[in-house]
Amino acid sequence: MSKILIVDDERVFCDLLKALMKSHGHEVFTAYSGKEAIEQFQQNRPHFTMLDLHMPEMNGIETLRQIREIDQKAAVMILTALGTDDLEQQARRLGATDFLSKAISLDAIVASMNRGLKPPEQAPAAGKTTQPGIPETDAVFLVEGNTDVRNTFVRVLGQHGIVIRAAKDGPTLLSMLEKERPPLIVLDMDLSGMKGLDVLRKMHEKNYTGGIIIMTAGDDEKLLKEALSLGSIDILGKPVDPERLMLAIQVGLVLLRS
């Protein structure tokens, strides 16, 4: 097991990488700013640091420069959504082990990290459980009542390699669950006809044990508490950006597999 420090002011992306690295058996620390990163680095002396390039107040280059003042040989990877050749050269001159786009696959990020670390021993994965006679699928089920929004989600998520099986309403989803059990379901709570909470209750009755991400425009605290009690692992406020949904799905899948 190695100690990993993840630094990113985007908490969703930071949490995604944290869940991913923990699933690989690492001890993970997080920081949401350059200043906090320096404090965490001094306190925990990580074996590897994943560092966001663009952060307010202290950017990744300056943070890397201060890390170098503490440890000249520290392994540091730069991650960025918007990089330039000049910034990459600055990072390389400061000894960055890699300079990667956030848009690449999670597997590529792990592979880059493992080049600077001895791969950790991984505990055997826990066996999955499902109802007898109902096969599992690797696809994520998506329930969204708005046709345009549904089609956009399917297209964008598909471009990122996430296999989606879409349903327009609750009864369609419940019918799909009779034949297959996905690891994760994304559910619009504001459906016409059978409402999202009623769908959740029916899923519970059918002993669905996978993860659930709900999307809602409401802020009914009682409803949200019941949704969480029925197994939700994330709640997204509508309108939901496709990229935000992609990150939520990636986090959910990593958490479910860890």
Residue 133 has a pLDDT of 63
Domains (ranges, CATH) in the chain?
3-115 (3.40.50.2300), 140-257 (3.40.50.2300)
Tell me the C-alpha distance between 82 and 102, whole Å: 9
pLDDT of 126 reads 42
Residue 186, pLDDT score: 95
Identify which of 8, 46, 40 has the alpha carbon closest to the alpha carbon of residue 27. 46
What's the rounded Cα separation, in Å, for the pair 121 and 113? 15
CA distance 8 to 254: 18
What's the rounded Cα separation, in Å, for the pair 39 and 220?
39
**CA–CA distance, 184 with 250 (Å, rounded to integer):** 10
Give the HSE-up count for residue 182: Cα atoms under 13 Å, Cβ half-sphere: 26
| Cβ atoms 112, 118 nearer than 8 A | no
| pLDDT (tens digit per residue) in 193-206 | 998 889 998 998 88
Residue 73 makes CB contacts below 8 A (sequence gap 6+) with 95
In sign, the C-alpha dihedral spanning 61, 66, 72, 73 is negative
pTM above 0.85, yes or no: no
The 10s digit of each residue's pLDDT in 57-69 is 888 889 999 999 9
- Within the chain, which residues score under 70 in pLDDT? 81-84, 98, 101-108, 111-112, 114-133, 219-220, 224, 228, 230-233, 254-258
The predicted pLDDT at position 13 comes to 78
